[in-house]
A and B are shown apart, each in its own frame.
Chain A
């Protein structure tokens, strides 16, 4: 018996190795190493949680959006994020971890979400900067994930990237409108770019020299480029687009290094990154409290829906028995 299991595992392992070598896709029913499954659940649930927590800084401005068109676009964007969260939770469930479990982990503070959302959105221009820089960084990270080796994740990312690129464009458009508006509007835009610049660069994670999880992810074709490679690519995009905005990046060291053939930037404050990651950012407590409150306040609704569904199916069964 054990022997048969071992044989199956060996066959599965061989298949897994072949799939990875051929840069093909692993599907939910395929054999996969425990570490691979674990790494995916960690990354995908973190991604889903980020979508959900990431709604909060933007929701903060829905009721105050300065035009009805902007209000509609912002509402649609935040709603997309809820959709992305749902989509990613579902994709993660294919790995055997339920949404309940993932939610519990988030609410218990055991699961992470992107640190960027622990910064406050204090002005309307932040809606532009979040779209242009935060969503821009997310896309830079996520486009290569459309080729990730785990099928459900890769397919989820294809759809999510399409919507994210729309989000980035609308963020850019908000900043463009502000930077070509009144002096006060332009100052608001510059202030937002100043505040979101470094946190958005840090979204790619610690420098390659200090990134413990990267090696395996690259070997498994989950991750395709290193944190620093993606960060450099992102800085290059910002450096070009900020000219169109007629704004400045708060980093005089941004330049294209001809010899190395890549974009470079000034030093980042990784101590701050670690502080925010450790729960000591400006909004960590606020974000979690808000999520818990929504979950707790909604408990009676979920219970009612479950109770109603149970009563309905019991009634259907009774009716079916009578008919039979």
Chain B
């Protein structure tokens, strides 16, 4: 089942010790050449940014758990919820709206990926996709907890009691799983977007956004490696896998455009957030390099009209939310 030298030996994120229980992860393994320009090795600017913007969370009192937060280390959604409740983490309206977008992207993606567990092409992929889903869910919980602090809402208030038009996810994340190649195509785009986004955001002037992003970028680095390896394998594997990989990319690529659209929010919030257009060149370069190595073309499809950031969603989101919210809404106010 697993041929010698098979990809499974390289599948990242395959440790059954998931971050829900244990925030620490093994060090990032050596990276192949296809990722030049994407890895954290080129991210010295973010290190500098940390020095520029030392976060109070990294130097707070050691006695209170809500302030014992180090960027990139042991920042749990529960810590953020505590800080929100204590009033020490209160984002501005604009920062909250921005955190809501990133939180919704991650939440919807986690919900999609969670469906793969027990359905993967190989047990190793059940574990890997489950791990990625868990990471995304962790990021979602952090961003939503922080966003909610602006409005007196918890992560669950935001996840379970908003209607479709109140979600701010981009259409890419809402796309159905399709076959494994379609899921990989969506992952490849998502990680190629989130990686530079979180790397830059870890230098945010908002200390909490910076801390969440600093933790998330380490995990998304694995996701990018995972999807990159699979794009190469499926693109260069068999005739069938290549055909499916091309179809997956063509079906997902129209939703790339929306990810990099600017709107007034970024200009309004200033250096607390990352301006979407500023990430586009790196995304194009990095994805282009991987696709070239896989001898695949960047799909030439026209970009779809987005609108997720304004609450205008694809046809798919309603079904996803109906399933996700059904139980919580059946018992409003209940504790679980």
Contacts and interface: CB of A to CB of B under 8 A. Distances in A.
A6 interface: no
B55 interface: no
Interface stretch (A137-145, A191-199, A229-237, A300-308): A300-308
A85 to B, nearest CB: 6
Contacts of B335: 177, 181
Contact of B122 (A65, A68, A84, A301): A301
Contacts of B156: 67-68
Nearest to B158: A68
Contact of A294 (B121, B140, B236, B244): B121
A82 B18 contact: no
A66 B238 contact: no
Contacts of B237: 303-308
A304 B6 contact: no
A308 B233 CA distance: 6
A56 interface: yes
B6 A306 contact: yes
B172 interface: no
A246 to B, nearest CB: 16
B328 A99 contact: no
A304 B126 contact: no
A298 interface: yes
A13 interface: no
Given A300-B241, A301-B234, A99 B2 contact: yes
B117 interface: yes
B131 interface: yes
B114 A75 contact: yes
Given A62-B114, A312-B5, A75 B133 contact: yes
A37 B237 CA distance: 38
Contacts of A290: 118-119
Nearest to A86: B123
B118 A56 contact: yes
B122 A302 contact: yes
B249 to A, nearest CB: 15
Contacts of A311: 236
Among A69, A84, A178: residue with most chain B CB under 10 A: A69
B324 interface: yes
Given A67-B156, A100-B1, A304-B238, A294 B324 contact: no
Among A68, A174, A185, A290: residue with most chain B CB under 10 A: A68
A76 B144 CA distance: 20
Contacts of A181: 331, 334-336
Contacts, number: 186
Interface string A268-297: 000000000000000000000010011001
A68 B137 contact: yes
B121 A298 contact: yes
B334 A302 contact: no
B21 interface: yes
Nearest to A70: B336
Interface residues of B, number: 63
Contacts of B241: 300-301, 303-304, 307
Interface in A167-187: 174, 177-178, 181-182, 184-185
B124 interface: yes
B236 A99 contact: no
A303 B241 CA distance: 9
B8 A305 contact: yes
Given A82-B117, A294-B119, A305 B131 contact: no
B114 A63 contact: yes
Contacts of B238: 300, 303-304, 307
A304 B236 CA distance: 8
B159 interface: yes
Among A82, A298, A307: residue with most chain B CB under 10 A: A82
Nearest to A99: B1
Contact of A75 (B3, B117, B323): B117
A59 interface: yes
A307 B5 CA distance: 11
Contact of B233 (A62, A304, A313): A304
Contact of A163 (B4, B16, B236): B16
Contacts of B323: 63-64
Contact of B159 (A68, A99, A166, A294): A68
B336 A66 contact: yes
B326 interface: yes
A218 interface: no
A161 to B, nearest CB: 14
Interface in A71-101: 71-73, 75-76, 78-80, 82-86, 89, 98-100
